[in-house]
Structure formats: C-alpha cells, structure tokens
C-alpha cells in the first residue's frame, strides 16, 4: 500500500470507497495499517512525512466512526499527539473513541498485539474496551470527545424527515433479517417481495406497496433456470416481469462489495429511479470465510453493519435471508443462527416457521419502528405464492389430521359422534381421541355430550349436555319379570364372552338386582340389544366396550 496523494492519510484511498458511517481505525504506524487491511479491518495512519495533524486528514475521516488506538511504550509526547488527533476529529467524525494502548509489557502497540493474537482479536477488543479519557494538564477531563451531543430542546426543533415505508404496516426503511429453517419457503417469500416492490401496484401479504422502485436481488444460491422457473410460477405472463427488478449472481464480501453496491445505488438515483429494496439471499454467501480464533460476534457485526448502513444511506429496505438453528428457544427470535450481533444490529427480524409438508406457516415479526406481530401464512406450491391464511395464527398450527377432523365435523354447530368422525377420516381411535383433545384444548371444538363433539357453537337452542360415562342416566322402564342370569358358556357361538359376539347379557329383576348396561363407544348411547351389532344412534358397527353398573 502507498500513501494517499500528498498530505493524505496512509490508507485513505481505500477509506474513500467506504460508505458513510463505517468504522475506521486510526493508528500511528503504516505497518499496522497494512496488517489491519490484510485482516479486512479499515485503518489509516498519518504518513511518516507528516509533521502534525492536517485539516485534510480530518476531511478524509468526516462522517465515519473513528477508533483511535494509541501506542505507548516510548518516552515521548505521544499522549499529547493523540489528544490533538482526538480534538481535531471531534465534531467532524460521526463519533470518536480513543482506547487504552493494547497489549501487555513494556511495548504496547497495535502491530505487536496483532502479531501475538490476530486482527479480529484487536478489533473485538477495541470495540468492547472502555474509552480512555484524555486529561488536560490541569487534571480535568475533556468532554470534547463526545460527538453528536444535543439537548432535548434542540431535538424538539430539529427537522427530522419521517420514516419512509416501502410496504406500509409491514416494511419500513431499514435492515431486516428473514430467518427460517431450510426449505421453509424463505426464498419464495423474498422473491415475492422483490417482484411486488419492482412492479406497479404490487401487493405483499395483503399490504399495498407504497411506490415501486428499483430492486437489487442477490440470488447467490439460485441458478438462472431456477429463477426463471420461480418467476414463471409467481407471474406466468413474462411481459409483466418488471424492468426494475435486477438480479446478481455473485457478490464480493467486504468493503469492495459494499462499494460496488453503493455505486449501483448512486447510478439508479442519478436516473431518478431510486433503490427501494435490496435482497441478499443468503447472508452467509456474502461474508468472508471464518478466521481462526476470530470472534463470532465481531464477524457477524462486520458482515451486517455495512449492509445496515446501506439501508440508512439510501432510505431503502435491505432484506438479509438467513437460517434458524435446530434447537428451540423460549424467544423465537433467539433461534436465529449466529451471535446476538445479528438481531442486535438489524432494525427488524422476521422468523418464518413451517412444518415440513404443510402449507400453513407462522411469520413472527419484530422491528424497532413497529409493534411486534404474528401473521398466519399459507403457501400455494403450484404458484409459489405466500398469502395470509384465513383463521389467523392458530389455523397455521393445525396438522393434517386435525384439518381432516374439522372438515369431517362440518357444518359447524352440529354435534357429531366420535364413531362418525372416525368413519369419515379413517383415523385410528387412539390417535383420533388424542387429536380431539388437542382441538378441544385449543378452543376449536367442545364436547357436546358424552361421545359427541361440536365444531363451533351448537346450532339453534341446543346446549352442551354433559353426561358422565359412569353415571349415565337410564330411562325408566316398566318392571319386568325376574329372569335368571344366563351363565357364560365359553367357546360356544352366541354365548356371553365368546369371541365375535356383541356385548354381555344384561341382568334385570327386582329393584335390588344389579343391572349391567352397555353403551356405544361411538356416541355413548345405550346399546340397542344383545343381538345387535349396529348402534341405532350413530351407525357404529362393532363390539361395545364400555359397560356401566347401576344399582
């Protein structure tokens, strides 16, 4: 690396290509600057020929976040020099911070620290360490390092433009992380949003797009054939594919890639067609390879912060498609892979949850500029289209068996016996009983009477009639002459207890006699008779299993 033009900072020509608001490290050694850039960390230093801090240096760092890493260890006026640099940048840079000298021992400087550790370790330390407060000769602490300082009264009178919405109620300007497990439809959703924003009068998940514009879509995991096939499903009429929708097959990570995106956005702005949306699918494809002993937090921050700055600079939405981890968490947003730098750096996070093989899904949304919300979505695989689901978030959690049960119980309000539901759905009794209880727990159905269920509210004046399976009321019957009990004869056709027969022999007699009553497992009604194999109430065919003992 060579110094910038005369009176310029060493490394300044690379800083000039970075977007406003980048983090720049200010060192006092050109060798340390070379080591920092080799580790993908922007850094500058006054050239060795400089006699002091020049106004040109300040201009090169204006608008950036500057972190000054001093080098102590030599008896010199370095502390006075560092304070002069800090004072010159205060008020011109976006922020200025001076750290204590890094490392241990007699020699404390950035280059030595990098030699013993790594650039990533130095960057992590510089971001997390408390700033060094430079003192005046009289011992008082200077407050000049505080930049961007203003009062509440000044804030009240500032002319601050309102937040720009790309999709009102859904997507304000800013950087958004769209996360989900593999094959849940994240790319379909991102492509739908891109197509809608680039089209005239587009719609996204039931929301109108507010003013279309240019869209840059980084399809880093899709071939051209797959992209065209997906667009054919979303919009079969190719003549309607928008000219404003632009695709990129590759992206260079780091400052070089961010500089290229900035240049493209500037080009669109010059053509009076400002960028409204940038999609990166996926984030993992637009970041540097992990470095040995590097901090995961810093690597996430290094990858996302420049993209976040793009959203602020061009007042657009940047969507970063990412993945969920397998492990569950109490907070759904904690399932995003990586460190907290991801969800902490972006303005909003979307988490798409869909069980494999199901069309329903839940989209959880959190954003700094809108309230947290959940949306129930439905995926049409034939069209590749996500749309709001009728019934809300609860409906998105139904499994296929539960949907079959609710369909079998239609029309709503009409009680249906368990046996009838089993006959329609073909679900085995054990599983059916479990799913009915789940639906009852979630409020979809209720038990109308023993063995009967109702979907929604009962029709007309019908009311819920709880009947105990043990103490079921028995209609009064006229007295019957005493009949002796028929003993069970094993292995005889038609005898009580013989395999293949229905029920047991009821015993009736005097009021003090014991009566055994058998009921239908389908609807709970009294079994019609010993020789009957079909319930008269619900049509259940088979052997009754519940018996009651009445005295």
In the chain, the domains with their CATH numbers are: 12-150 (3.40.1360), 165-396 (3.40.50.300), 400-455 (1.10.10.10), 468-551 (no CATH)
| Measured CA distances, 241 to 82, 228, 271, 305, 314 (Å) | 57, 10, 20, 32, 24
CA distance 283 to 470: 61
Angle at 272 between CA 249 and CA 63, to 5 degrees: 80
pLDDT for the residue numbered 1: 54
If you search the block for the tokens 């011992």, which residue do you land on?
139
* Contact indicator for 177, 163 with CB cutoff of 8 Å: no
* Contact indicator for 425, 409 with CB cutoff of 8 Å: no
If you search the block for the tokens 């890639």, which residue do you land on?
257
The two beta strands, 245-248 and 214-219, are: parallel
Q: How many alpha carbons lie under 13 Å from residue 490 in its C-beta half-sphere?
A: 0
CA distance 516 to 505: 8
If you search the block for the tokens 């922020």, which residue do you land on?
95
pLDDT for the residue numbered 105: 52
DSSP 419: H
| Measured CA distances, 196 to 127, 232, 247, 364 (Å) | 39, 14, 15, 21
Show contacts of 461-464: CB within 8 Å, 24+ apart. 462/413, 462/415
In DSSP terms, 541 is beta-bridged to 534
332 burial (CB, 10 Å; 0-12 / 13-18 / 19+) is middle
DSSP 242: -
Give the CA-trace dihedral at 167, 170, 172, 174, to 10 degrees.
-120
- pTM, full prediction: 0.53
Tokens of residue 393, six digits: 């978030």
Q: Of 542, 550, 543, which Cα lies nearest the Cα of 475?
A: 550
245 burial (CB, 10 Å; 0-12 / 13-18 / 19+) is buried
133 burial (CB, 10 Å; 0-12 / 13-18 / 19+) is exposed
DSSP 527: P
| Measured CA distances, 290 to 33, 187, 287, 334, 429 (Å) | 21, 24, 9, 22, 53
3-state secondary structure of 401: helix
3-state secondary structure of 403: helix
If you search the block for the tokens 């009962």, which residue do you land on?
458
DSSP 505: -
Query: What are the pLDDT tens digits along the chain (551 aa)?
Result: 544 444 689 888 888 888 888 999 999 888 889 989 988 899 999 887 777 888 889 988 988 999 999 876 444 446 667 778 888 888 888 889 888 888 755 557 888 888 888 888 899 888 888 887 654 444 444 555 455 678 899 889 988 888 899 999 999 999 999 999 988 999 999 999 999 999 988 899 989 998 889 999 999 999 999 999 999 999 999 999 999 999 999 888 888 888 899 999 999 999 999 999 999 999 999 988 877 777 788 888 888 999 999 998 899 999 999 998 877 777 888 889 888 889 999 999 999 998 777 788 889 999 999 999 989 898 998 999 999 886 555 555 677 788 788 888 887 778 888 888 888 888 888 888 888 888 888 778 888 887 888 887 665 544 444 434 444 444 444 444 544 544 544 444 444 443 433 443 344 444 444 444 566 777 767 666 666 677 766 777 766 654 444 33
478 burial (CB, 10 Å; 0-12 / 13-18 / 19+) is exposed
Residues 6+ apart with CB under 8 A from 259: 17, 18, 19
Q: Which residues of 524-536 are buried (b: 16+ CB within 10 A; e: fewer)?
A: bbbbbeeeeeebe
């Amino acid at each position: 690396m060579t110094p910038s033009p005369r009176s310029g900072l060493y490394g300044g020509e690379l800083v000039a290509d970075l977007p406003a608001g980048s983090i720049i490290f200010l060192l006092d050694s050109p060798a340390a600057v070379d080591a920092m850039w080799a580790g993908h960390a922007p850094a500058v230093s006054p050239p060795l020929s400089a006699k002091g801090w020049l106004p040109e240096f300040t201009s090169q760092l204006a608008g950036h976040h500057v972190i000054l890493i001093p080098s102590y260890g030599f008896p010199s006026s370095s502390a006075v020099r560092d304070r002069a640099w800090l004072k010159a940048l205060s008020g011109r840079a976006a922020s200025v911070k001076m750290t204590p000298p890094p490392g241990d021992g007699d020699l404390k400087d950035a280059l030595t620290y990098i030699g013993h550790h790594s650039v990533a370790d130095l960057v992590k330390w510089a971001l997390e360490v408390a700033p060094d407060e430079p003192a005046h000769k009289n011992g008082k602490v200077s407050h000049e390092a505080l930049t961007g300082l203003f009062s509440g009264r000044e804030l009240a009178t500032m002319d601050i433009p309102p937040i720009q919405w790309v999709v009102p109620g859904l997507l304000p300007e800013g950087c958004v992380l769209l996360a989900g497990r593999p094959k849940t439809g994240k790319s379909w959703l991102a492509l739908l949003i891109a197509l809608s924003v680039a089209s005239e009068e587009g719609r996204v998940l039931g929301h109108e797009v507010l003013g279309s514009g240019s869209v840059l879509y980084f399809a880093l995991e899709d071939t051209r054939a797959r992209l065209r096939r997906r667009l054919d499903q979303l919009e079969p009429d190719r003549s309607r594919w928008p000219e404003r929708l632009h695709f990129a097959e590759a992206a260079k990570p780091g400052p070089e890639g961010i500089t290229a995106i900035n240049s493209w956005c500037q080009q669109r702005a010059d053509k009076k067609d400002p960028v409204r949306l940038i999609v990166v699918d996926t984030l993992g494809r637009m970041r540097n390879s992990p470095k040995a002993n590097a901090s995961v937090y810093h690597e996430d921050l290094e990858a996302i912060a420049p993209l976040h700055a793009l959203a602020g600079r061009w007042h657009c939405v940047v969507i970063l498609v990412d993945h969920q981890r397998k492990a569950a968490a109490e907070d759904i947003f904690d399932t995003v892979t990586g460190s907290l730098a991801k969800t902490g750096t972006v303005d909003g996070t979307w988490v798409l949850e869909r069980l494999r093989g199901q069309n329903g899904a839940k989209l959880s949304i959190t954003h700094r500029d809108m309230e947290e919300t959940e949306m129930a979505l439905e995926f049409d695989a034939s069209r590749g289209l996500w749309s709001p689901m009728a019934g809300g978030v609860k409906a998105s959690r139904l499994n296929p068996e539960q949907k079959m049960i609710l369909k079998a119980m239609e029309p709503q309000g009409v009680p249906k016996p368990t046996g009838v539901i089993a006959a329609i759905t073909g679900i085995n009794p054990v599983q059916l009983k479990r799913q009915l209880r789940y639906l009852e727990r979630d409020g979809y159905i209720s038990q109308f009477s023993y063995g009967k269920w109702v979907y929604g509210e009962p029709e007309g004046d019908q009311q819920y009639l709880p009947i105990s399976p043990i103490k079921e009321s028995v209609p009064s019957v006229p007295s019957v002459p005493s009949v002796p009990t028929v003993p069970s004869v094993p292995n005889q056709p038609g005898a009580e207890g013989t395999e293949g027969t229905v029920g047991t022999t009821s015993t009736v007699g005097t009021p003090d006699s014991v009566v055994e009553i058998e009921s239908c497992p389908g609807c709970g009604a009294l079994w019609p008779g010993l020789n009957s194999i079909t319930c008269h109430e619900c049509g259940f065919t088979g052997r009754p299993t519940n018996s009651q003992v009445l005295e």
